[in-house]
Amino acid sequence: MKKITTLFIILLFFCVSSLQAKVYTDEMGRDVFIKEYPKRIVSLTPGITEILFALGIKGHVVGVTKFSDYPPEAKRKPKVGSYINLGLESIISLHPDLIIASADGNRKEDISRLTDLGFTVYVIYPQNLEGILSSIAHIGQITGAKAQAKDLTDNMRSKIRFINNALSGVTRRRVFVQIEPSPLISVGKDTFWDNLISLAGGQNIVSENTAGYPKYSLEEVLARNP
């Protein structure tokens, strides 16, 4: 009788847990089991931090990366290293029930290590402007802020349409974006940066390069005459 009672309690626990959690597929195709309305969220990039604050759930953010400085309130959150050099011990000490990472910046081995330690890690992978909007929607869904995410993305799409209309017919300036000085690293085709340059009325002078972040010599850049 005692064994039956114990088994019943265990089954009841898992049934209740399943009602409070759901399996989501992240942007890397991984199935992630996330409990409903996570209360302790660690953000592993500045961009993710901005999204969480914009969704109005800053109170659930317990850790951010070193350069998370917008909005200003983010500076006061505990730091867990930089997004390419995470402090795993700092993350563990915060006891997060959800960690949101990015495949474009966070190291794969760090994500695997956190997952192996039993933490819930959801990975986004926005590669362009439309991808950013999708990531906002996904983050809203897994954090219980679905309505806020829809309002935010609708507002952003409205602004994008306004900018497109305002710049119709404007002569495009030739633009070179430098994200690293030595060697010179720029931004190639279909990246978030490339999308923004085009949206703002510019022409990325290396947009034909299919590499995400191509390297160039100073002579090559000067020859392209940005």
Taking the C-alpha atoms of residue 83 and residue 20, their distance in angstroms, rounded to an integer, is 30
The predicted pLDDT at position 13 comes to: 45
Q: Provide the b/e sequence for 17-29 (b: ≥16 CB within 10 Å).
A: eeeeeeeeebbee
The reply to whether 173-224 shares the fold of 18-162 is yes
Taking the C-alpha atoms of residue 167 and residue 210, their distance in angstroms, rounded to an integer, is 26
The CATH code belonging to domain 18-162 is 3.40.50.1980
In terms of Cα–Cα distance, which of 128, 101, 99 is closest to 45?
101
Q: Give per-residue pLDDT as tens, 5-39.
A: 554 544 444 444 444 679 999 999 999 999 888 99
Q: Where are the domains of the chain?
A: 18-162, 173-224
What CATH topology corresponds to 173-224? Rossmann fold (3.40.50)
Q: Give per-residue pLDDT as tens, 44-56.
A: 999 999 999 999 9
The predicted pLDDT at position 226 comes to: 94
Listed as ranges, residues in the chain with pLDDT below 70 are: 1-20
